[in-house]
Amino acid sequence: MTHQRDAGLPGGAAGGAAKPRAGGTWDSALSVDEFAAVKGVGFEPVGQVLGTAVFTIGYTGLWGCPGAWSVTCGKKVPSSAWAASFSPLVRTMYEARRVALARAVAECRALGGDGIVGVELRVREVEFSEGGLEFTALGTAVRARSRVRPRVPFTSHLSGQDFAKLLYAGWVPTGLAFGIALDARHDDWRTSRRFPWTAGNQEVDGYTQLINHVRRDARKQLALDAAKHGADGVVVDDVELRVRERECPSFGYARDFSAEAVFVGTSIARFGRSGRPVGPRPLTIMRLEREG
C-alpha cells in the first residue's frame, strides 16, 4: 500500500500562530438561512476551509480465499484458515479522512476560527497514472463572539440551522466521528445455489450475514470514535454501503464478495446552562385596533 501524504499544511495553514482576518471579505459555504442561524447563536463565519489528501491504494491486506462464514454455537466464525484481514486498508481509510479533516481544521485555526460547521466529506476517484482516491473536507469556519476559546476547534456536519438548534438545546459538537468496516466472504452454497431463477423469493443468508457483520462493526467503531472526543452521544450524518465482486484468487471458477460500511456523524456533549428558557424568546404581540 502506498499513499501520498504531505506532512506540511497547504496555504496559510502552514506554520505560524492562528490569527483572525483583520477586515476584508470572508467566504463561506452557508446559505442565507444558515448564516442567519449561526449569527443568532453568537457565532460569526470567518471563511471557507478545505482539506484534501490523495491516497493510492495498493495493499488491502486480503490474501488467498476469504472462506465462507459459518455459524457455530450461535457465534459467527470464519470457516477457513484463509479468512481475510482488511486491517491495513481500514487503517488507510481512517487515516485519509483524518488527514483531510486535520488540514481543514488547520485552515480554521489560521483564520482564528473556533470550529467548522457544515463539513462535507467527499471521496472520489482521481485520474492519475497510478490511480488514487481523493478525500476532501469542505466547510465553513466560525468564531464565537466570546472571550472563551476552545482548546481544539470542533468539527461538525450539521447545517447552520441544526447547529443553532443543538446549542439552544444545551448540546455542543465535539468533532466528526467515523465508523468503517470491511469484510469478505466466498461465494459458497449459501449464496450460489439461491439465485432467483432457481430458488424463488427467499433470503440469501450468506449475503445477509456479510452485510450485517460490516454494519454492526462500523456502528461499534463509530461509538468508539465518538468516545475519543469526550462525547455523550453521536448524531449520524451518512451511512454508506458498498459491495464489490471479484474472481476468487484460490478458485478461478468461483467468486468472492467484499462489503464496506462507512458511518459518519457528529459527536456531541452536554454543557451547563443557566435557568433561561431554551430557544429564542417569543415575540410580543400587540393589538392595533382600538377597544370600544
Question: Does residue 2 form part of some domain?
Answer: no
Residue 80 domain flag: yes
What is the pLDDT averaged over residues 73-84? 40
Highest mean pLDDT among 43-57, 128-142, 192-206, 275-289 belongs to 43-57
**Higher pLDDT among residues 211 and 186, named by residue:** 211
Q: Which of 12-16, 93-97, 186-190, 250-254 has the highest mean pLDDT?
A: 93-97
Q: Does the structure show a pLDDT above 90 at 235?
A: yes
Q: Is 101 among the domain residues?
A: yes
Name the more confident of 196 and 118.
118
Split at pLDDT 50, 70, 90, the class of 72 is very low
Q: Tell me whether residue 169 is in a domain.
A: yes
**93 domain-assigned:** yes
Average pLDDT, the chain: 77
pLDDT, one tens digit per residue, over 196-216 is: 555 567 777 778 888 898 999
Helix/strand/coil (H, E, C) string of the chain? CCCCCCCCCCHHHCCCCCCCCCCCCCCCCCCHHHHHHHHHCCEEEEEEEEEEEEECCCCCCCCCCCCCEEEECCEEEECCCCCCCCHHHHHHHHHHHHHHHHHHHHHHHHCCCCEEEEEEEEEEECCCCCCCEEEEEEEEEEEECCCCCCCCCEECCCCHHHHHHHHHCCEEEEEEEEEEEEEEEECCHHHHCCCHHHHCCCCCHHHHHHHHHHHHHHHHHHHHHHHHCCCCEEEEEEEEEEEEEEECCCCCCCEEEEEEEEEEEEEEEECCCCCCCCCCCCCCCCCCCCCC
| pLDDT at site 209 | 85
pLDDT at 89: 81
pLDDT at 190: 54
Give the chain's domain count: 1
The percent of residues above 90 in pLDDT, for the chain, comes to 41
Residue 11 lies in a domain: no
In the predicted structure, residue 253 carries a pLDDT above the cut 90: no
In a domain, 285, yes or no: no
pTM of the prediction? 0.73
Q: Is the pLDDT of residue 264 over 60?
A: yes
**Whole-number pLDDT of residue 9:** 40
The whole domain housing 50 covers 26-270
CATH of residue 39's domain is: 3.30.110.70
Does some domain include residue 69?
yes
